[in-house]
Amino acid sequence: MTRPGDAPVDVCVVGSANLDLVAAAPRLPRPGETVLAAGFAEHAGGKGLNQAVAARRAGARTAFVGAVGSDEAGQRLAAALVAAGVDTSLLATSEQPTGRALITVDERGENSIVVVPGANAAVAGATVPPARVLLTQLEIPLAAVRAALQAARAAGTTTILNPAPAASLDPALLALVDLLVPNEHELAMLGTPGELLAAGVGAVVTTLGAEGIRVTTPAGEWHQPPFTVTAVDTTAAGDACCGVLAACLALGQPLERAVRTAAAAGALATTRAGALPSLPDRAEIDALVAAQ
């Protein structure tokens, strides 16, 4: 069995890849309402792809396990991963079209997102490369998430689950998770941090948006204050946080320092429009941490 210390990559991300279709509007539409957009853009995205690129930009050797279609969008996403330096040897090609995310961003930087999974439904998590940290989310089939966590746990790999989009999870799956990284809405679907620790989760890292991050471990609870930035678009802020957290832990940082670095990455991601274009590199992150 390959030990984490001998792993050829630092972080393995098992997750989704989508083409983001982003409309910039003065406000988010109410049910039944049409709002005229001020602009439109297309970007590589998907929680898995975003998190893989975030981890790589933070300095971790990163592999991505996912699926795209054999269409032009799939080629664009694969090219974006390669350009970022992410290992795509386990990126599958599906007969289904590449996933899409329909995103509206308002003038305050808040967003509304609808995801069309497409090829992401073909992701299988049973085959993952040896890595120090495995990171996965819920935009792929739950069976793939479970298989990836089981394979990583069997290899002695640290496991991180970002339970997004929000869903109820059974105790057997939660028991495979070393770090659970929900936002407040996702946490409400899963239970209190104490209940999650009792179910076998190693630690709960709850992202609180503009309020920072709350970390709950068996030893106690502590709060990471937010970093002060001017938000333009909150899309992928959580993905930046998760990917950088995985990278920092894989590179040997203790949890408290890794959370602080991840919080800075999430804050920086809100200062630029789009998902992939907003993900900061390690120099930017370290500069913000040093400044604040």
Annotated catalytic residue, options 87, 178, 233, 239: 239
**CA nearest to 147, candidates 167, 239, 7, 155:** 155
128 with 14: CB under 8 angstroms? Answer: yes
239 in active site:
yes
Element (H, E) at 12: strand 9-14
Residue 72 to residue 65: CA distance in whole angstroms:
19
Q: Is-contact 157 4, C-beta < 8 A?
A: yes
d(CA 43, CA 20) in angstroms, rounded, equals 5
Radius of gyration, CA atoms only, the chain? 18
CA atoms within 13 A on the CB side of 284: 21
Q: List, by residue number, the catalytic residues.
A: 239
